[in-house]
């Protein structure tokens, strides 16, 4: 089974539970923590990659613990603030998700067309294309 990415949101009450232990021990899931920000007795978030046959039961367990679970697909974000509209990404993008709007030559991003190939992330000279989870 391929890994699935999820984001967990903890409340002050749930942030101290040993949930990773239970995911591994009780549901036999492989856990890869991508990002975590958890402060004891405060709210927190954690981005996880879960792999295993009992994925659905694991998610059910998390929900029973009052932990909010959000399924997460990777996506690419165009950071307009950082983008200089140089345009060099527009012919690298295979789907036309990044394109030049003429005659102003402003670079625009249509996220519906994006297939998350991440070529733009590599070619953008100022790192204005970001992968988000």
Site for another protein, rule CB under 8 A: 84-92, 100, 102-106, 122-123, 125-126
102 binds, among another protein, ligand SF4, none (CB under 5 to 8 A by kind): another protein
117 touches ligand SF4 (CB under 6 A): yes
Residues 56-95 that bind ligand SF4 (CB under 6 A): 76, 83-89, 92-95
| Torsion sign, CA atoms 112, 117, 122, 123 | negative
Nearest 5°: CA angle at 74, between 71 and 78? 130
CB-CB contact of 120 with 94 (8 Å): no
For residue 115, the partner it binds in another protein, ligand SF4, none, with Cβ less than 5 to 8 A by kind, is: ligand SF4
């Amino acid at each position: 089974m391929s890994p699935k990415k999820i984001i967990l949101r903890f409340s002050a009450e749930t942030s101290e539970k040993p949930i990773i232990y239970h995911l591994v021990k009780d549901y036999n899931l492989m856990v890869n923590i991508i990002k975590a920000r958890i402060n004891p007795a405060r709210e927190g978030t954690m981005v996880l990659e879960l792999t295993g046959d009992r994925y659905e039961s694991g998610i059910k367990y998390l929900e029973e613990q009052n932990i909010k679970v959000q399924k997460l697909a990777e996506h690419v974000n165009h950071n307009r603030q950082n983008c200089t509209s140089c345009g060099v990404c527009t012919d690298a993008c295979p789907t036309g998700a990044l394109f030049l709007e003429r005659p102003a030559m402003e670079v625009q991003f249509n996220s519906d067309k994006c297939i998350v190939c991440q070529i733009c992330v590599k070619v953008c000279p100022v790192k204005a294309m970001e992968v988000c989870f």
